[in-house]
Amino acid sequence: MLLEGKVILVTGATTGIGEATARRCVAEGARVMVHGRNLDRAQAVCGDLGPAGAYVLGDLGDPQVCQRVVAATVERFGRIDGVVNNAALTTRSNLETTDPATFDRIIGVNLRAPLLILREAVPHFRRQGGGVVVNIGSINALSGEPNLLAYSAAKGGLMTLSRNLANALAEEGIRVNHLNVGWVATPNEIALKEREGLPPGWQHRVPPEYAPIGRLLAPEEVAAHVVFWLSDQSAPANGVVYELEQYCLIGRNPAKAF
C-alpha cells in the first residue's frame, strides 16, 4: 500500500475530490483527518472509514480554524505526515462583481488558508524529519474563465505558493507539489451547473471539445493522482505543477476542422 502508516490531513474532505482522496488514502493504508463544515457529511464519511478516520469541522476563512485542523490531527493520531489542501470556494465573480468582500473571502479560503495550515504543519514535519504537501489547484490558474476572476487569481497564487515553499523547504525533506485539476464531475459541480441552467444529466452529455474521452474526470481519478504525489513513490519530485486534464492545455485549439 502506498501510504502505509502515514497520517494525512485532507481539507474539504466531506464531498467531491476531498472525500474521494480521504477514502483512497485509507485504502492505501493511511489514517486520515477529514476536514469539512457539515457535521452530517463528516460523520458519514468517517463512519465508512472506521478507526482510520476522524473529523474536524470549521470554516477555513477563520485563521484559528487553520490552526485547529492541524492540532486536531496531531492530537488524534500523534503525528502528521502529509497535507492535502483541497478546500476551496468556487464563487462566481467577474471584474464588476468582485467587490472587496468577495475577493477577500475567496482569497482567505483558497489561498490564505493553505498558507496558514502549512505554517502549523511544517514544524511537525521538521520534528519528524520530513513531510509532504499536495495543493489542489485548478487549470483556471493559467488564465481562468471570465466569471471566475477571484477564484482564478487565488489558484494562481496557490500555484506560486507551492513552488515557493517547495524551494524553501526542500533541504529539510519536505516536498510540496501541486495539481492543477481540470473539469471534474463532483456532486457540487453537477448541482451548480443545474442551478445555472443546464438540464439534469448534463454531465453525461458534455461535448467532445470539453471531454475528448466522452466524460468529465471523476473525483476518484483525481484521488488516485493525489495519493501518488503523497506517496514515497513520487519522491524526490518537488515543486512540480502537474496539470490533470484530458487534453493538453498549451496551444490547444478545440475548434473542429472546416
Q: In this structure, is residue 209 part of a structural domain?
A: no
Looking up residue 95, the CATH number of its domain turns out to be 3.40.50.720
What is residue 250's predicted lDDT score, i.e. its pLDDT?
85
Q: Are 30 and 3 within 8 A, CB to CB?
A: yes
Distance of CA 38 to the CA centre of its chain: 17
Q: What is the CA radius of gyration of the chain?
A: 18
Residue 1 and residue 60: Cα distance in Å, rounded? 31
pLDDT tens, N- to C-terminus, the chain (258 residues): 999 999 999 999 999 999 999 999 999 999 999 999 999 999 999 999 999 999 999 999 999 999 999 999 999 999 999 999 999 999 999 999 999 999 999 999 999 999 999 999 999 999 999 999 999 999 999 999 999 999 999 999 999 999 999 999 999 999 999 999 999 999 999 998 999 898 998 998 899 888 999 999 999 999 999 999 999 999 999 999 999 999 998 887 766 554
Q: In this structure, is residue 121 part of a structural domain?
A: yes
Q: Establish whether 151 is a catalytic residue.
A: yes
What is residue 209's predicted lDDT score, i.e. its pLDDT?
86
Determine how many CB atoms are found less than 10 A away from the CB of residue 140.
20
Q: What is the DSSP string of 31-58?
A: EEEEEES-HHHHHHHHHHHGGGEEEEE-
Determine how many CB atoms are found less than 10 A away from the CB of residue 98.
17
What is residue 252's predicted lDDT score, i.e. its pLDDT?
79
Amino acid at residue number 173: G
From the list 55, 151, 210, 242, the catalytic residue is 151
Q: In this structure, is residue 206 part of a structural domain?
A: no
- Quick one: how many helices (H) and strands (E) in the chain? 8, 7
What's the length of the chain?
A: 258
The grid cell for 214 is: 466522452
The grid cell for 245 is: 486534464
What is residue 17's predicted lDDT score, i.e. its pLDDT?
98
Residues 6 or more apart from 145 whose CB is under 8 A from it? 152
Q: In this structure, is residue 204 part of a structural domain?
A: no
Please name which of 52, 30, 54 lies closest in space to residue 132, comparing C-alpha atoms.
Answer: 30
Q: In this structure, is residue 199 part of a structural domain?
A: no
Residue 31 and residue 7: Cα distance in Å, rounded? 5
What is residue 256's predicted lDDT score, i.e. its pLDDT?
59
Total domains in the chain come to 1
Residue 42 and residue 66: Cα distance in Å, rounded? 17
Q: Are 165 and 133 within 8 A, CB to CB?
A: yes
Residue 46 and residue 44: Cα distance in Å, rounded? 6
Which domain, by its residues, includes 178? 7-182+217-244
3-class SS of residue 100 = helix
